[in-house]
Amino acid sequence: MLRRIRSALPLHRHSIPQIVADGVLLAVAYWAAFRLRFDRGIPALYEELLRETIAWVVAGGLILFVVSRMYGKWWRFSGQRDLLVVVRSVVLLTLALVFGIGVFHPVTRVTSEGEVGLGLPSSVVALFALLAIALLCGVRLGARIIHERPRGFRPRGDARSVLIVGAGNGGRHVLEEILRNRDLRLNPVGFVDDDPTKIGMRLHGVRVLGNTQEQLPRILEEVEPDEVLIAIPSAPGTLRARIVSACRRRGIPVRTLPTVFELLQGGSSTYVRQVREVQVEDVLGREPVRFEERVGRYLDGEVVLVTGAGGSIGSELCRQIARVAPRRLILLDHAEDNLFRIQRELEDDRHVHPSHLAAVLADCKEEERMREVFRDLRPTVVFHAAAYKHVGLMELNPVEAVRNNALATRVMARVAGDCGAKRFVLISTDKAVSPATVMGASKALAEFAVEEASARHPQTRYASVRFGNVLGSSGSVVPIFRQQIAKGGPVTVTDERMTRYFMTIPEAVQLVIRAGSMGAGGEIYVLEMGEPVSIMQLARDMIELSGLRPDEDIAIEVIGRRPGEKLHEDLFNPYERRMPTPAEKILLAEREPLPPEVVEAMFDEIGLLVLEGDAAALARKVTELSAARGGSAVDAAT
């Protein structure tokens, strides 16, 4: 029995001195409360009470403290939550003291009229509570202050001077690690922060020198740091871009803490060891999306199927969905290596139990195989991320583009409805808007397929989520530019005027999961992508972030647009109305859906062309059908 109790309590060898010290402090507080109340000497009646109860107060207090789990860590790591536990425990002990003395050890005085109950003076009770809180909290704060004191920090002779951007929690933690660990070879020379109330203040002796808006160039000239460290995980891209630009002009390298998404996805245990080089994702100017763990709570207890689970979007969907612990997560992909990689990552790095995972090697185009998967595994929520997305390759292979993007989506949506899935979410693209390529047209047809399925299966809530380019996905412009820079150039840009929307994969996926919980069925949601980014400026920024100079160290070559490639992408068709939603950064593309029989006629025709393998006729037809609306769509389909 004692062993079971001990295993449930966080007691360690270092807990014994802490318990002894707290016992002494409780005894001192109890004795001092009587001495302060009776400054001319404790009356004999109360002195007897003090002697007879002090041991019980100390013993009861320590038992209460152990049960309250006050001894789970060293005092030097005590935080605000630990101090609140101390306060709550002392208040409970005080109430128990008043109750115990009143019931088990009442204080009485014999008079001519008989015994008169006196009780414990309220001033003694109040003094005991205040003194106990002050002593117990004070010793913990003192231990932390002594532990965190710089102790005459002297940087190593080969230490690099570092200017820290951000005097908040991130900057403070970075500074504390630098001061505690000389082997990091860093010497903090100052902070910069845009909060005017912090300018001039000191953190562990290091001064906040000014802000990043007007004063950063002057500070860089005066301090001449060896490097600048951005210690604000939630910093917007505009701030990072401003700092990088000022530092690059002076040849000062810049490093940064990970973003909030990267921190949440895990990493090393210390802030300084998580510092990395600034990447293009950090300086695109997008405001960070606030990560909300509750957005995926509707997936609790569900069986979730992710198609294309090994791809860039599908794998991030799996990571974020695994974090909210669905009953089971089904990974479906037709690429063996990608499927194996995400399965091992979830089991080894994310610690997902194998019994909660199912890795399915299958092709979404095969309807019988999909019905078998649904029949055996019973998914209740489907995220359909499987798609071909390389525009150039799809132009060369239109039959496969339509078969995989349009026909397979119709198969998945229809099977999900037939098998009683609760939700179905299609990952769409901005290239489905006024499509000018086979790839865009195939995704527009996929949106029509989801609309048709929503009309035929009202018990399943269907939705499409449309967004632009994501940074880091296979085939996107950013990894292509990185490879070209690594090879010494040239960096190829199709047109100087071209712009594109960008967002990071983690924030896009979080918004997709959030959109999956919205609506009544059949909606098309559009992620708010911010301002479009100039591809030419993106190329220049990436060259500069590599420590090179555009047009001097690395050439930029304009090669001309490919057939069907637009200068600017749109997020809404002309016939769609841009409507707000309750969710931040998610919009609704409101439009009149096509009648299900019209969509069915469309797919009958393109399905026949796919079977015939007539690539040229298919390319023409899918572009014509995907652009058709209303009556024109009926005409086109017939």
Least confident of 63-67, 288-292, 515-519, 525-529: 288-292
Angle between helices 44-67 and 15-37 (to 10 degrees): 150
Question: What whole-number distance in Å separates Cα of residue 117 and Cα of residue 105?
Answer: 11
Q: Which residue has the higher pLDDT, 260 or 610?
A: 610
- Candidate ranges 45-59, 328-342, 569-583; pick with highest mean pLDDT: 328-342
- Please compute the mean of the pLDDT values over residues 584-609 and round it to a whole number: 89
Q: What is the dihedral of CA 301, 347, 513, 382, to 10 degrees?
A: -70
At 633, the pLDDT band (50, 70, 90 cuts) reads very low
Q: List all residues 6 or more positions away from 537 whose beta carbon is below 8 Å from its beta carbon.
A: none
Q: What is residue 290's predicted lDDT score, i.e. its pLDDT? A: 55
- Please compute the mean of the pLDDT values over residues 544-556 and round it to a whole number: 81
At 201, the pLDDT band (50, 70, 90 cuts) reads confident
Do 160-283 and 293-632 show the same overall fold? yes
Q: What is residue 452's predicted lDDT score, i.e. its pLDDT? A: 94
**What is the number of helices (H) and of strands (E) in the chain?**
22, 24
In this model, does residue 12 exceed pLDDT 60? Answer: no
Q: What is residue 116's predicted lDDT score, i.e. its pLDDT? A: 43
Q: What is residue 537's predicted lDDT score, i.e. its pLDDT? A: 85
Average pLDDT of the chain to the nearest whole number: 82
pLDDT digits (tens, 9 = 90+) for 469-528: 877 666 678 778 888 888 888 999 988 888 888 788 888 898 999 999 988 888 999 998
Which residues face 525 on adjacent strands?
Answer: 465, 588
Q: What is residue 636's predicted lDDT score, i.e. its pLDDT? A: 44
Q: What is residue 287's predicted lDDT score, i.e. its pLDDT? A: 56
The backbone region for 551, taken as left when phi is positive above 0, alpha when psi lies in -120 to 50, beta otherwise, is left
Q: What is residue 7's predicted lDDT score, i.e. its pLDDT? A: 45
- Please compute the mean of the pLDDT values over residues 269-284 and round it to a whole number: 55
Structural contact between residues 553 and 539, judged by C-beta atoms closer than 8 angstroms: no
Residue ranges per structural domain of the chain:
2-148, 160-283, 293-632
Q: Which residue has the higher pLDDT, 104 or 308?
A: 308
Residue 480, SS3 per DSSP: helix
Q: Beta strand 523-527 with 461-466: parallel, antiparallel or unpaired?
A: parallel
In this model, does residue 16 exceed pLDDT 70? Answer: yes
Question: What whole-number distance in Å separates Cα of residue 598 and Cα of residue 211?
Answer: 60
Q: What is residue 634's predicted lDDT score, i.e. its pLDDT? A: 40
Least Cα distance to 229 among 180, 170, 287 occurs for: 170
Least Cα distance to 308 among 332, 340, 336, 328 occurs for: 332
- Please compute the mean of the pLDDT values over residues 203-230 and round it to a whole number: 87
Tokens, residue 360: 């399915």
Least Cα distance to 535 among 561, 562, 480, 497 occurs for: 497
At 52, the pLDDT band (50, 70, 90 cuts) reads confident
In this model, does residue 114 exceed pLDDT 50? Answer: no
Q: Which residue has the higher pLDDT, 241 or 382?
A: 382
**Nearest 5°: phi and psi at 146?**
-65, -40
In this model, does residue 295 exceed pLDDT 80? Answer: no
Q: What is residue 288's predicted lDDT score, i.e. its pLDDT? A: 52
Q: What is residue 629's predicted lDDT score, i.e. its pLDDT? A: 57
What architecture is domain 160-283? Answer: 3-Layer(aba) Sandwich (3.40)
Question: What whole-number distance in Å separates Cα of residue 548 and Cα of residue 309?
Answer: 37
In this model, does residue 112 exceed pLDDT 70? Answer: no
CATH 3.40.50.720 fits 293-632, yes or no: yes
- Please compute the mean of the pLDDT values over residues 295-308 and round it to a whole number: 90
Least confident of 242-256, 375-389, 431-445: 242-256
Q: Which amino acid is at 589?
A: A
**Nearest 5°: phi and psi at 172?**
-65, -45
Which residues face 186 on adjacent strands?
Answer: 160
Q: Beta strand 357-361 with 533-534: parallel, antiparallel or unpaired?
A: unpaired
- Please compute the mean of the pLDDT values over residues 174-195 and round it to a whole number: 85
Question: What whole-number distance in Å separates Cα of residue 522 and Cα of residue 524?
Answer: 7
**Nearest 5°: phi and psi at 44?**
-55, -35
HSE, side-chain direction, 13 A CA sphere, residue 293: 6
Tokens, residue 428: 């769409």
In this model, does residue 285 exceed pLDDT 70? Answer: no
In this model, does residue 109 exceed pLDDT 70? Answer: no
At 543, the pLDDT band (50, 70, 90 cuts) reads confident
Distance of CA 381 to the CA centre of its chain: 22
Q: What is residue 415's predicted lDDT score, i.e. its pLDDT? A: 96
Four-residue CA torsion sign, 122, 123, 129, 132: negative
